[in-house]
Every structure is written in C-alpha cells, then in structure tokens.
C-alpha cells in the first residue's frame, strides 16, 4: 500500500503545518488525554459543551468530535447543536458511540446523532458497531465482550447504511466507506490496558479528517498513526502507565516519514 501510506504521511504533515482546531464534546474520563493527544499530533484541542457556545466554537473548528461516554440528555442536545452547525459548514463530524449497546440511552443517542447529523466518520469497537447495526453483539460497560462475526462486512454495511465512513477497531482495525474496505494492522495489546484508547483513536482520526477530505483515508491514517506510536511505545513500557507516557511521547516525535514506512494498511 505504498501510495496510501504516502498520502497518509502527507496528511500527517498537513496537521502539523495547519494546526487545525479540533472541537471535542466528549466524556469526562478522557478529556485530558484526548486534549493532550490532539496537541501531540500537532493540532489544537478545545473542549466546550455549553449549549450557549457550542455552535460558535464549532464554527471556528476544522473537525468536531462527538463522544458519548458519560452521556447525559443535555449533552446530547449540545452535540446536536454543534453538529448541525458543523453540517452546515461542511466541518467533518467524527462520532464515537462509547458504550452503545450497553444502555438504551447510549444506543438511541448514537443512532439519533447518526440520523440527524451529517456524520463523516463513526469509530467504535466491534460490540458497539454491532449493537448499532442490530446484530448479535454484546457490550459490557464500554467493553466489547461479544463482537460481530464479520467485521469487514459489518463496517461496509454500516457505512452504506449511515452514509459515512465506519471503523471498527480491535486487533485488526476495519474501515469502510461502503465500497472499499481497508484493514489497519498497527497497534499493540497494551492499548487494551489503558482507559480511553478507543477515544484517543477517535481523536487521531478527527485530526486527520480536519486536513484530508477522503475520510476513508483519514480514518485509516489516524488509526495507523496511533497504532504505530503504540507499537513504538510498547517496546519501552514496563506497564500500562509507562506505556501511556511513551505513547504520547512517541506520537509527538513521530515523523511523516516514519508513518509512511510503518503504517500497515491492507486492502480487503
């Protein structure tokens, strides 16, 4: 995937050049981590959820992350407000349906956001995407304990149904725009030992989507970039907390050239 890798590396270089603003309406658990990750990637983070300011904040952003962890009803309303402004202005929305399938509130809120907004990319684990598709899948808290049987088929189906790019992350990540399906093999098991690694992957995708209009490429790029940093970090880690420190350092130090060499993307 020589050409793909180079296009991803170019997008990565653009993030650092353009420093796009990424507006997050996200959960309280990961706010600090995803703000830091945004900075380390080269973009600018802002976290804002007051209904009085979300549309104004979104309008100066280059991407909008909607993440439904620690969700409440007023938060969904703020997401809809920000999302509508983003849709009007052509700003890509990246949705992370954290815990969809675990509770009615999360499943229904995620589906409502997909239905009412022009979502560019959805990223979830196998259980979450499966639950949103109505497939047999199980989410315990925010963990996929029973994923879909055919993730390549599921992302393709979801992408076609929701008219957006869809990613299922796991040992292999699957990304589709409804026609093409890509697999991303970067990553490391240490990612499953820290909280918010899925949310961080979503933020990485949003940073790429802020500078790359081919959202399939943006999703694969964000995941490859994040996963590659994880691989490098794991070599230096002696546990999950030192892994996380190294993960952030590696993301910051990662060059577009290293990404072009290290991204492991396959066409499925």
Where does this chain bind a second copy (CB under 8 A)? 21, 23, 27-33, 35-36, 38-40, 44-50, 52-53, 56-57, 60-61, 69-73, 99, 102-106, 140-143, 193-196, 238-242, 244-250, 252-253
Question: Could you tell me the smallest distance in angstroms from the CB atom of residue 125 to a second copy?
Answer: 13
**d(Cα 161, Cα 213) in Å, to the nearest integer?**
20
Query: How far apart, in whole angstroms, are the C-alpha atoms of residue 148 and residue 131?
Result: 9
- Rounded to the nearest whole angstrom, what is the least distance from the CB of residue 214 to a second copy in the complex? 25
- Tokens 């990304």, located at residue: 175
Cβ-based burial of 193 (10 A; exposed 0-12, middle 13-18, buried ≥19): middle
CA distance 42 to 36: 10
| Shorter beta-carbon distance to a second copy: residue 35 or 94 | 35
Rank residues 56 and 150 by Cβ distance to a second copy and give the closer one: 56
Burial of 152 (0-12, 13-18, 19+ CB in 10 A): middle
Closest to a second copy by CB, 236 or 261: 236
The least distance separating a second copy from the CB of residue 179, rounded to whole angstroms, comes to 35
Q: Provide the minimum distance between the beta carbon of 16 and a second copy in the complex, in angstroms, as a whole number.
A: 12
Place of tokens 């796991």: 170
Closer to a second copy by Cβ: residue 136 or 150? 136
Q: How far is the CB of 8 from a second copy (least distance, A)?
A: 21
Positive or negative: CA dihedral 187, 192, 193, 196? positive
Q: Shortest gap between Cβ of 167 and a second copy (angstroms)?
A: 22
Q: What is the bridge-based pairing of β-strands 165-169 and 119-125?
A: parallel
Distance separating the N- and C-terminal Cα atoms of the chain: 12
Between 46 and 268, whose beta carbon lies closer to a second copy?
A: 46
Grouping H, G, I as helix, E, B as strand and the rest as coil, residue 17 is helix
CA-closest candidate to residue 251, choices 268, 216, 221, 227: 227
Q: Of the two residues 215 and 248, which places its CB atom closer to a second copy in the complex?
A: 248
CA distance 145 to 128: 10
Residue nearer to a second copy on the CB measure, 21 or 155:
21
Q: Which residues of 195-233 are buried (b: 16+ CB within 10 A; e: fewer)?
A: ebbbbbbbbbbbbbbbbbeebbbbbbbbbbbbbbbbbbb
Closest separation between CB of residue 178 and a second copy, Å?
31
């Amino acid at each position: 995937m020589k050409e793909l890798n180079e296009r991803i590396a170019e997008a990565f270089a653009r993030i650092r050049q353009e420093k796009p603003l990424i507006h997050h309406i996200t959960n309280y658990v990961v706010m600090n981590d995803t703000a830091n990750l945004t900075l380390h990637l080269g973009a600018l983070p802002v976290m804002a959820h007051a209904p009085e300011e979300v549309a104004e904040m979104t309008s100066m952003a280059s991407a909008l992350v909607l993440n439904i962890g620690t969700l409440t009803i007023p938060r969904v309303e703020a997401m809809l407000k920000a999302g509508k402004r983003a849709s009007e202005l052509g700003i890509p929305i990246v949705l992370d349906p954290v815990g969809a399938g675990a509770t009615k509130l999360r499943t229904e809120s995620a589906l409502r956001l997909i239905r009412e907004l022009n979502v560019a990319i959805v990223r979830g684990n196998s259980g979450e995407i499966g639950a949103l598709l109505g497939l047999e899948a199980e989410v315990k808290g925010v963990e996929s304990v029973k994923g879909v049987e055919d993730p390549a088929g599921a992302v393709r189906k979801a992408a076609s149904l929701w008219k957006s790019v869809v990613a299922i992350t796991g040992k292999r990540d699957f990304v589709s725009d409804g026609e093409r399906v890509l697999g991303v093999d970067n990553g490391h098991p240490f990612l499953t030992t820290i909280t918010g690694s899925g949310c961080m992957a979503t933020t990485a995708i949003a940073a790429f989507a802020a500078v790359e209009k081919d959202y399939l490429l943006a999703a694969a790029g964000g995941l490859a970039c994040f996963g590659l940093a994880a691989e490098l970090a794991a070599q230096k880690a002696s546990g999950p907390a030192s892994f996380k420190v190294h993960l952030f350092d590696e993301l910051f130090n990662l060059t577009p050239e290293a990404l072009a060499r290290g991204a492991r993307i396959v066409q499925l």
